[in-house]
């Protein structure tokens, strides 16, 4: 018996009109891009970070507690007329306490791990969203005294979130934005709790204090000949650009917070040689402004020698934060005596 003919029904290219696969591929791509466009349009309308850039039906506020992104919402809130900037060395400054002391409405816009580039971008964002700024507090550290013009960013920061609309739209479509949009919907429906309205994150309350440093003091000076001071501080240009956006009568307080003694610049090091000129540069930026000052606590003082004042080598506790807040308030109020200065501090190193 002759073999039955083999069907060529499933042979490649047989049984289909020319171009079917091409049309299928194009249709699939079309569906994909249409779906992507719908998601993108939804993100613009839902405004995941509460930037207020475009019309939206969403209520103000975010559930986000990450300062890098939550500041987009807090920084444009018209309820606030004053702001605190810096990194984690300024994070424990309580905007509610400072508001009570000064009768201003403070918001906390610090970003842990940030440097001059991130902090000045946030300053400009806050200024751009407020017709009237009644005070600015900037907590600075040694990174502001760096000589590298690049002013490198140590940790990822969403600069696009705080700049122009074109850059914002170019970076909006991502999984993080989708997650934030979902959280904003949950917030609007009462299914989620908003973050702290003043942007405050307390790194001490609820934590067990356990800072028991075993260090030698004084720190041995760096070896070699004394370094020559270098007065080139590129970050000051960024600060000048930000301050230029403020009226000359707006009070500005620049604070250099304390650290535990082992974090102080090592004698005979380059930073120790440069720090006096850097501090002088900060003081010059606020000179002539009313109710403004440079407050220098990055010094070898009893505060820096008492471990009870710190959570770790770099981060102070509430007892120090409240003292700093009173000093800031005294400057903003034009007073020689900090509000509540007669109250006990609870720490021998603070007396």
Instruction: Report pLDDT for 222.
Output: 66
Residue 312 falls inside a structural domain: yes
Decide: residue 178, CB within 10 A, 0-12 exposed, 13-18 middle, 19+ buried: middle
Cβ neighbours, 10 Å, residue 206:
6
For the beta sheet containing 135-139, the strands, ordered from the edge strand earlier in sequence to the opposite edge, are 106-108, 82-85, 135-139, 252-256, 293-296
Residue 42 falls inside a structural domain: no
Residue 319 falls inside a structural domain: yes
Please give the residue range of the domain that contains residue 260: 69-163+197-350
Q: Return the structure tokens found at 64.
A: 């986000």
Residue 45 falls inside a structural domain: no
Residue 46 falls inside a structural domain: no
Instruction: Report pLDDT for 345.
Output: 40
Decide: residue 347, CB within 10 A, 0-12 exposed, 13-18 middle, 19+ buried: middle
- CB of 325 closer than 8 Å to CB of 93: yes
Residue 292 falls inside a structural domain: yes
Pairing label, strands 135-139, 293-296: unpaired
In angstroms, the CA 214 to CA 204 distance is 21
| Residue 134's CATH number | 3.40.50.1110
pTM of the prediction? 0.87
pLDDT tens string, the chain, 351 residues long: the values are 455 554 444 445 455 566 777 777 777 777 777 878 899 898 999 999 999 999 988 888 898 889 999 999 999 999 999 999 999 999 999 999 999 999 999 999 999 999 999 999 999 999 999 999 999 999 999 999 999 999 999 999 999 999 999 999 999 999 999 999 999 999 998 898 998 999 999 999 999 999 999 876 656 676 778 889 999 999 999 999 999 999 999 999 999 999 999 999 988 899 999 999 999 999 999 999 999 999 999 999 999 999 999 999 999 999 999 999 999 999 999 987 777 654 334 444 554
Residue 169 falls inside a structural domain: no
Number of domains in the chain: 1
Is the preceding omega at residue 218 within 30 degrees of 0, hence cis? yes
Residue 331 falls inside a structural domain: yes
């Amino acid at each position: 018996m002759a073999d039955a003919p083999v069907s060529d029904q499933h042979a490649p290219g047989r049984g289909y009109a020319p171009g079917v696969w091409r049309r299928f591929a194009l249709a699939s791509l079309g569906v994909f891009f249409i779906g992507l466009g719908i998601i993108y349009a939804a993100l613009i309308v839902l405004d995941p970070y509460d930037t207020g850039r475009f019309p939206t039906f969403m209520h103000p506020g975010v559930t986000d507690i990450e300062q890098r992104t939550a500041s987009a919402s807090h920084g444009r809130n018209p309820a606030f007329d004053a702001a605190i900037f810096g990194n984690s060395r300024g994070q424990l400054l309580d905007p509610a306490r400072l508001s009570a002391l000064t009768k201003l409405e403070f918001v906390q816009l610090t970003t842990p791990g940030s440097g001059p580039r991130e902090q000045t971008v946030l300053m400009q964002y806050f200024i751009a969203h407020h017709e009237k700024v009644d005070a600015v507090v900037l907590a600075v550290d040694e990174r502001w005294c760096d000589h590298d013009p690049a002013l490198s960013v140590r940790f990822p920061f969403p600069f696009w979130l705080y700049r122009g609309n074109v850059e914002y739209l170019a970076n909006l479509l991502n999984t993080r934005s989708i997650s934030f949009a979902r959280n904003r919907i949950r917030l609007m429906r009462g299914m989620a709790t908003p973050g702290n309205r003043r942007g405050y994150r307390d790194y001490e309350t609820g934590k067990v204090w356990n800072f028991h440093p075993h260090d030698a003091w004084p720190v041995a000076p760096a070896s070699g000949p004394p370094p020559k001071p270098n007065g080139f501080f590129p970050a000051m240009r960024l600060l000048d650009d930000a301050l230029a956006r403020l009226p000359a009568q707006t009070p500005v307080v620049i604070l250099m917070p304390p650290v535990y003694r082992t974090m102080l610049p090592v004698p005979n090091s380059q930073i120790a040689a440069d720090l006096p000129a850097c501090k002088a540069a900060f003081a010059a930026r606020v000179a002539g402004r009313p109710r403004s000052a440079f407050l220098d606590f990055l010094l070898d003082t009893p505060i820096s020698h008492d471990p009870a004042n710190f959570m770790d080598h770099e981060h102070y506790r509430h007892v120090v934060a409240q003292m700093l807040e009173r000093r800031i308030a005294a400057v903003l109020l034009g007073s020689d005596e900090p509000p509540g200065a007669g109250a006990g501090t609870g720490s021998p190193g603070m007396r």
